[in-house]
């Protein structure tokens, strides 16, 4: 009897944790806004006929992808909106690994920017694909 009660309690706890995690994740998605992601190969193709603003958001500065227009630290996005074009302009953000740029992309989406794109894997993925970096 004790064994089945213990197993039952463990199952209730596991299910409860799972439900809590789902609720937290869905709230996070709603709070962060939406943005697209692209691969290094897709960005390379886009750079051939560049019609977007390319922003390095990695701190500290550790180099950049050729064609970068701005360096704005990911945690200073709110303070740098005057450097950005209108909210419907196409803006591609990147960092070293993708973590900081995901935060920046999410914040820009929260602020009402509607055409935000994040480079998956950042400069690390870019370099692994054989593309050059400047000043690294």
Q: What pLDDT sits at residue 136? A: 66
Number of independent structural domains in the chain: 2
Q: Do residues 25 and 45 both lie within one domain?
A: no
95 belongs to the catalytic site: yes
Q: What pLDDT sits at residue 15? A: 44
Q: Do residues 24 and 40 both lie within one domain?
A: no
Q: Are 61 and 97 in contact (CB under 8 A)?
A: no
Instruction: Please list the ranges in the chain whose pLDDT falls under 70.
Output: 1-32, 136
Q: Do residues 25 and 46 both lie within one domain?
A: no
Q: What is the DSSP string of 72-117?
A: --GGGGGGGGGGS--TTS-EEEE-SSSHHHHHHHHHHHHTT---EE
Residue 67 lies in a domain: yes
Residue 10 lies in a domain: yes
Residue 133 lies in a domain: no
Q: Are 93 and 68 in contact (CB under 8 A)?
A: no
Q: Are 57 and 41 in contact (CB under 8 A)?
A: no
Domain of residue 27 covers 1-32
Give the 3-state secondary structure of residue 34. coil
Q: What pLDDT sits at residue 47? A: 98
* Active-site residue identified among 95, 100, 108, 119: 95
Q: What pLDDT sits at residue 1? A: 54
Q: What pLDDT sits at residue 135? A: 87
| Closest among 128, 74, 68, 133 to 102, alpha carbons compared | 74
Q: Do residues 88 and 42 both lie within one domain?
A: yes
């Amino acid at each position: 009897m004790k064994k089945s009660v213990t197993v039952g309690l463990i199952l209730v706890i596991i299910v409860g944790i799972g439900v809590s995690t789902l609720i937290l994740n869905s709230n996070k998605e709603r709070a962060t806004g939406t943005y697209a992601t692209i691969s290094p190969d897709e960005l390379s193709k886009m750079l051939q006929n560049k019609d977007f603003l390319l922003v390095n958001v990695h701190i500290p500065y550790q180099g950049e992808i050729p064609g970068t227009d701005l360096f704005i630290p990911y945690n200073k996005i709110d303070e740098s909106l005057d450097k950005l074009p209108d909210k419907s302009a196409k803006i591609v953000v990147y960092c070293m690994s993708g973590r900081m740029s995901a935060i920046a992309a999410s914040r820009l989406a929260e602020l009402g920017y509607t055409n935000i794109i994040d480079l998956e894997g950042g400069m690390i993925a870019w370099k692994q694909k054989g593309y050059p970096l400047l000043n690294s």
